[in-house]
Amino acid sequence: MNLPSDPTADAPLQTTPTRHRIAEGASQAALEERILGPLNEVQRRAVTTTTGPLLVLAGAGSGKTRVITHRIAWLIEHEGVAPWRILAVTFTNKAAAEMRARLEEMIGERSRDVAMGTFHSLCVRMLRRDGEAIGLPREFAIYDADDQARVIKGFLKEDDLPATGSTKPGLILGAISRAKNDGLTPDQMEDQAVTHHERLIAGLARRYAAELKRLEALDFDDLLIEGLRLLQEAPAVAERYRTKWQYLHVDEYQDTNRIQYAWIRELAAGHGNLCVVGDDDQSIYSWRGADIRNILDFERDWPKAEVIALEQNYRSTQSILDAAHGVVSNNRGRKAKKLWTDQSGGLPIPVYGGFDAEDEAAWIVRRLEEHAAPRQGRGGSDAEPAESYGGMAILYRTNAQSRAIEEALLRASIPYQLIGGTRFYQRREVKDALAWLRVLRSETDRISYERIINVPPRGIGEKTVELLREAAAPRSDAPDGVPFGRVIASAGRGEVPGIAPKARKALAEVDGMISRLRGRLALIELPELLDAVYSETGLRAHLANEGVDGEERWANLLELRGIAGRFLELEPLDALDRFIEETALVADQDSIEDESERVTLITMHAAKGLEWPTVFISGLTEGLFPHSRALMDEEQMEEERRLCYVGITRAKRRLTLTYAIRRGWGDGEGVPSRFLAEIPDELLEVANDEDPRTDGTTRFGRGVAGYRSARSGFASGEAWREGSGRPGTPDGPFSPGRDLEAKRRAYGAGARSGSLRTPDHDDGVDAPFADPDHDEPPLTRPIGRIPPWATGRRVEGGDHQRADTTPPHDESALPERTRRPARVRIPGERYFRDGDRVQHAHFGTGVVVTSKLTRSDEEVTIAFVGVGVKTLAASLANLEIV
C-alpha cells in the first residue's frame, strides 16, 4: 500500500538527474544542519556516503530507519537528486508508510515521488506494467497460502493421497517454495530427487506450476521470481528501471532471500548505488528463504563496498542490552559486535515462572495493571509513574499462545490489539467476497470460481464441481483447457453432461449473477459494487439468517466495504484492481496502530522493527521458545536465539520474562528456557511467590545446564531453604492432584500491593537493583532472597476480578481483533439477565432465556413472542430492555 504516484510511468525517461542549484552558502549550512544535526558521527557518514555500494550494519535500536530517511532527504535536498530517482524497499507496507511519513516531515510533498514499497508490491507493479515482455498475462491473480493449498488439495484428491502426514498441503508447498527460491525448476527437482517422496514432491511441483500458469495466477514466490526474470530476460525493460532508479535502499537486508538479492543486484547493476541496511543478529526468516549470506557476503559481491556499523543504541537501557547480548553472544555465526548506550543502568528484569499458561497470563495482566496505575509506595517517593497501555506489549513465540493472554486481558477489561492470528483478510467471508470480486475480473481463476460457486449454498456440491473441473481440463480440442468461467456458463445452459437439473439451474443463476455484476463494474463505485455483490449473490440474506455468527460475518463484510471506500479517487475499474491487489499483499504488521491506548499482543517475528517502553516476553519454556523444532538443529537454535534477541531489544526501559511449567496439551512438565540461563544472573530477579514446579527438580536435574530454574531459586537449592520453608506439604505446594488449590494460590499470591522498585543508581553498571532490605518487600525480589510467601499476605479467592475497579466505559477499552465491531460492549459485563423483557426492531418483544459472554460480545438468547427463540449478538442487534 501507499505506493507513490509514478511520474515517469508514462513519460519519457530522463537520463541525467535534475539538480537544483543551491544558491547561498548560508542556507546550505542550515540545510546540512537540519538533515545531519540530529545524527551521530557514524550515522552522518552513512547518510553522506551517497554513491557506490554501502552496507550499514545497524544494530537493534541504532537508528536504522532514521539513517535511511535522512539519507534520502540528503540525496534530494543536498545532492539535488530527483525524488523519483530514489527507490526504497522494505518488508512490510507499514515500514514503507512509516518511512514515507518521516520523510514527508523532512522534505514535504516531494516525498511522495520517492518509490517505496515491499519487494512483493514493487514486483507486482513492474509485472502488471511490463510482464507481457516475458509472456505473463496482464491480469494475473495473486494466490495466497490458502489458494495454494486448494490447488494442492485438488491434486491430492485426484491421486487419492491423504492430506495429512508427509503429504500435508502445507508441507508440500513448503518444499515447493524452498525449491523455487533456490532457483530449481521441477525438472531439476526431479533429477535431484532420491527418495520416493522427493520424486512425489517434484511431480506435484510440476503440476502445480502448470496449473498456476493455466489459472493465470502467481503465488508470492512467483511474484519475486517473475520480477527477477523480468529484469534478466527483458533487457530493455531492465534498462529502463535501472536508468530510472539511480539510488537504491534496502531495509532489513538480513531478511532478503536469494531471489530478492538477485533482483536488487540487477537493478543496481551499472551505477552500483546500493545502500543496504541490516543486522545479522536480527535475521529470523531463514525458514522463509532469507539467506544470511546476503549480508555476510555483501563485501565479496561488491568489492568497493563501504561498510559502516551503527553500534550506539538509542532505544534501550544498558541492562536490556546486556540481557540481549548475553543471549545472542552464544551464537557462532555472527559478526562480533556489541551495542552500547549512554543510558546506563536500568530496571532489573523480573522473571516469573507460572504454573500453567493461564497462571502466567494472569500474572502478566496483574503486572500490566500495576504499571498502568501504580500504587504509591509507602515511602511515597519511589512509585513508578503510571504508564499507558499503549506503551506495553506482550510478545510470544507462536500465535496460539495469544489466547490465554487474551482471555486474561478480557477478564480484566484491559484494552488490547492483537496482531496476527486469524487475520481479517483471511476470514472466510472476507475471502469469499474478495473471490467474488476476482471472479468478476477473471475468466480463468478457477480457485476463486470454485470458492464462490456455492457461496452462499445453492445446491452445487463436490460432485458437480468435479464435473465442471473435468469439462475445464485440457483436451484435444482445447489444449489449454477451457476457462472456468466459461464452463460455468455453458453448464448453466445444460451443455455439460452429467449435471443434475438442480445444480444446472443453480449454475445458470451463478452465471447470471456474474454477468449482471460485470455489467455494472465500470459504472458504480467500489463500495457500491460490494453492496451489489452482497445482495446480488444472496450473501447478505444468507448471513441474516445465520444468527450471531452471521451478524459477526456481516460486520466483517461491512468493514471490507469500508476499506473499499479508500479507493474512491480512482476510476471504478482501477479501484477494483487495486483493491484486489492490495488486499492480497497486506501483512499483519500493516494493521498495527501506533497511537492506540491498547496493549499490543504480537509474535516476536512480527514485532521486529517495533518498540515499546514496556515489553513482556512470555512462554520462555523449552520446546516453546526455543521451539521444539529447533532443539535438534544448531542452526535453527541460533535463529531462535536471534529471535530472542529481537524480542528483548524491543523493550525501551522495562523488560519482563515469563514462562509456564505446564504447557497445554498435557505433555508433562516443561523446563524454563535456556535463554533465561544465558542472561547474566545479576540482571534478573525472581518474581515468583512460589515454586511453580510440581516437584523439586527439573527434567534435567538440578543445576544441570545452568538453567535458570537451577540457579534462580526455583530448584530446591539454598535460596528456598533460606526462608522458613514452603507452605503446604513438604513435597511442595504444587504437587500433582492439588492443581486447583495450587492455581488458586498462584492467582491470589501476586495480587499483593507494592510497586516495582526503581533502581535509582546512576552510578554503576552492576548495581541496577533495588535495595532488598528496603522497608517494604518489593513485588519482585533479587534472586536468592527469601520467598515472600513466608511472610507475605495472600489475597483469597481463585479468580482475579477487580472488585474495586469499574471497567472503563469508553470504546478504547475494547479488545480489537483485526476488526472493530459496529457497536461495542464492555467485556466482562453482562447486560442481559435471564427473564429480562426486551424489545427488538424486527422481532418485537421477547424474554431473555440465557445470555453468554463471548470473546468480544454478549450472545443473548431470546424467546420472541410469536417469532420463536433467537440468539443475537448484543452489540449488533439493537436490543432494548423494557
Partner DNA sequence: CACCTAGTACTTTTT
Partner DNA sequence: GTACTAGGTG
Which residues, in sequence order, are CB contacts of 197 under 8 Å at separation 6+? 166
Quick one: which of 704, 855, 863, 880 contacts DNA (CB under 7 A)?
Answer: 855
Cell numbers for 9: 510511468
- To the query of whether residue 636 is one of the catalytic residues in this protein, the response is no
Q: Binding mask 780-799 vs DNA (x if CB under 7 A, - otherwise)? A: --------------------
- To the query of whether residue 160 is one of the catalytic residues in this protein, the response is no
- 570 contacts DNA (rule: CB under 7 A): no
CB of residue 186 to DNA, shortest distance in Å: 20
Q: What beta strand segments (E) does 756-814 contain?
A: 781-782
- Burial class (CB within 10 angstroms; exposed 0-12, middle 13-18, buried 19+) of 528: middle
- 774 contacts DNA (rule: CB under 7 A): no
Rounded Cα distance between 24 and 521, Å, is 55
CB of residue 285 to DNA, shortest distance in Å: 7
- 501 contacts DNA (rule: CB under 7 A): no
Q: What is the four-CA torsion angle of 84, 89, 90, 95, rounded to 10 degrees?
A: -10
CB of residue 92 to DNA, shortest distance in Å: 5
- 603 contacts DNA (rule: CB under 7 A): yes
Half-sphere exposure in the Cβ direction for 712 (13 Å, CA)? 34
C-beta closer to DNA: residue 153 or 738: 153
**Nearest residue to 661 via CA among 358, 398, 396:** 358
How many Cβ atoms sit within 10 Å of the Cβ of residue 195?
8
Rounded Cα distance between 388 and 769, Å, is 24
- 371 contacts DNA (rule: CB under 7 A): no
- Burial class (CB within 10 angstroms; exposed 0-12, middle 13-18, buried 19+) of 809: exposed
**In degrees, to the nearest 5, what angle opens at C-alpha 188 toward C-alphas 186 and 193?**
95
- 637 contacts DNA (rule: CB under 7 A): no
- 375 contacts DNA (rule: CB under 7 A): no
In DSSP notation, 88-129 reads EEESSHHHHHHHHHHHHHHHGGGGGGSEEEEHHHHHHHHHHH
Quick one: which of 62, 92, 698, 755 contacts DNA (CB under 7 A)?
Answer: 92
Active-site residue, selected from the candidate residues 49, 65, 188, 398: 65
Quick one: which of 457, 565, 701, 725 contacts DNA (CB under 7 A)?
Answer: 457
Quick one: which of 125, 505, 627, 761 contacts DNA (CB under 7 A)?
Answer: 627
Quick one: which of 4, 664, 703, 777 contacts DNA (CB under 7 A)?
Answer: 664
**In degrees, to the nearest 5, what angle opens at C-alpha 238 toward C-alphas 233 and 244?**
175
- 180 contacts DNA (rule: CB under 7 A): no
Rounded Cα distance between 845 and 810, Å, is 29
C-beta closer to DNA: residue 516 or 629: 629
- 288 contacts DNA (rule: CB under 7 A): yes
- 207 contacts DNA (rule: CB under 7 A): no
C-beta closer to DNA: residue 42 or 661: 661
Quick one: which of 20, 629, 837, 842 contacts DNA (CB under 7 A)?
Answer: 629
CB of residue 287 to DNA, shortest distance in Å: 4
- Among 202-210, 422-430, 746-754, 794-802, the segment contacting DNA (CB under 7 A): 422-430
C-beta closer to DNA: residue 44 or 641: 641
CB of residue 826 to DNA, shortest distance in Å: 17
Quick one: which of 103, 267, 460, 513 contacts DNA (CB under 7 A)?
Answer: 460
Reply yes or no: is the peptide bond before residue 626 cis, omega within 30 of 0.
yes
Which residues, in sequence order, are CB contacts of 96 under 8 Å at separation 6+? 1, 2, 88, 90, 116, 117, 118
Count of residues in the chain: 882
Quick one: which of 45, 199, 214, 403 contacts DNA (CB under 7 A)?
Answer: 403
- 820 contacts DNA (rule: CB under 7 A): no
Quick one: which of 413, 417, 464, 818 contacts DNA (CB under 7 A)?
Answer: 464
Rounded Cα distance between 383 and 374, Å, is 7
- 181 contacts DNA (rule: CB under 7 A): no
Rounded Cα distance between 78 and 50, Å, is 11
- 828 contacts DNA (rule: CB under 7 A): no
Quick one: which of 66, 70, 120, 654 contacts DNA (CB under 7 A)?
Answer: 120
- Among 197-205, 371-379, 452-460, 701-709, the segment contacting DNA (CB under 7 A): 452-460
CB of residue 573 to DNA, shortest distance in Å: 25
Q: What is the DSSP letter of 624?
A: B
CB of residue 110 to DNA, shortest distance in Å: 26
Which residues, in sequence order, are CB contacts of 152 under 8 Å at separation 6+? 169, 172, 173, 204, 208
Rounded Cα distance between 510 and 323, Å, is 60
Quick one: which of 91, 355, 554, 612 contacts DNA (CB under 7 A)?
Answer: 91
Active-site residue, selected from the candidate residues 69, 260, 282, 318: 282
- 258 contacts DNA (rule: CB under 7 A): no
Active-site residue, selected from the candidate residues 211, 252, 322, 690: 252
Active-site residue, selected from the candidate residues 411, 451, 650, 654: 650
- To the query of whether residue 65 is one of the catalytic residues in this protein, the response is yes
- 808 contacts DNA (rule: CB under 7 A): no
- 837 contacts DNA (rule: CB under 7 A): no
**Nearest residue to 259 via CA among 233, 305, 221, 297:** 221
Active-site residue, selected from the candidate residues 44, 64, 745, 757: 64
Quick one: which of 623, 854, 867, 871 contacts DNA (CB under 7 A)?
Answer: 854
Rounded Cα distance between 215 and 148, Å, is 12
- 287 contacts DNA (rule: CB under 7 A): yes
- 337 contacts DNA (rule: CB under 7 A): no
- Burial class (CB within 10 angstroms; exposed 0-12, middle 13-18, buried 19+) of 40: middle
- 852 contacts DNA (rule: CB under 7 A): no
- 742 contacts DNA (rule: CB under 7 A): no
- Among 49-57, 61-69, 314-322, 587-595, the segment contacting DNA (CB under 7 A): 587-595
C-beta closer to DNA: residue 379 or 457: 457
- 325 contacts DNA (rule: CB under 7 A): no
Q: Is 382 helix (H, G, I), strand (E, B) or coil?
A: coil
**In degrees, to the nearest 5, what angle opens at C-alpha 291 toward C-alphas 397 and 122?**
90
C-beta closer to DNA: residue 375 or 428: 428
- To the query of whether residue 861 is one of the catalytic residues in this protein, the response is no
CB of residue 159 to DNA, shortest distance in Å: 14
Q: Residues 560, 568, 823, 97: is their CA dihedral positive or negative?
A: positive
**Nearest residue to 784 via CA among 710, 696, 697:** 710
Strand partners, 872: 860
Distance of CA 218 to the CA centre of its chain: 22
- 541 contacts DNA (rule: CB under 7 A): no
Q: What is the four-CA torsion angle of 181, 119, 287, 170, rounded to 10 degrees?
A: -70
Quick one: which of 99, 228, 364, 606 contacts DNA (CB under 7 A)?
Answer: 606
Active-site residue, selected from the candidate residues 222, 226, 251, 582: 251
Quick one: which of 34, 102, 125, 153 contacts DNA (CB under 7 A)?
Answer: 153
Cell numbers for 364: 502478566
Which ranges of 131-214 does DSSP label H, i.e. alpha helix?
145-158, 169-181, 186-192, 196-214
β pairing state of 868-873 and 858-864? antiparallel
- To the query of whether residue 64 is one of the catalytic residues in this protein, the response is yes
- 871 contacts DNA (rule: CB under 7 A): no
- 632 contacts DNA (rule: CB under 7 A): no
In DSSP notation, 287-336 reads GGTB-THHHHTHHHHSTT-EEEEE-B-SSS-HHHHHHHHHHHTT-SSS--
- The binding site for DNA (CB under 7 A) comprises 91-92, 118-120, 144-145, 149, 153, 163, 168, 220, 284, 287-288, 397-400, 403, 420, 422, 427-428, 454, 457-464, 500, 503, 585, 587-589, 603, 605-606, 627, 629-630, 664-665, 854-855
Catalytic residues, by residue number, are 64-65, 251-252, 282, 650
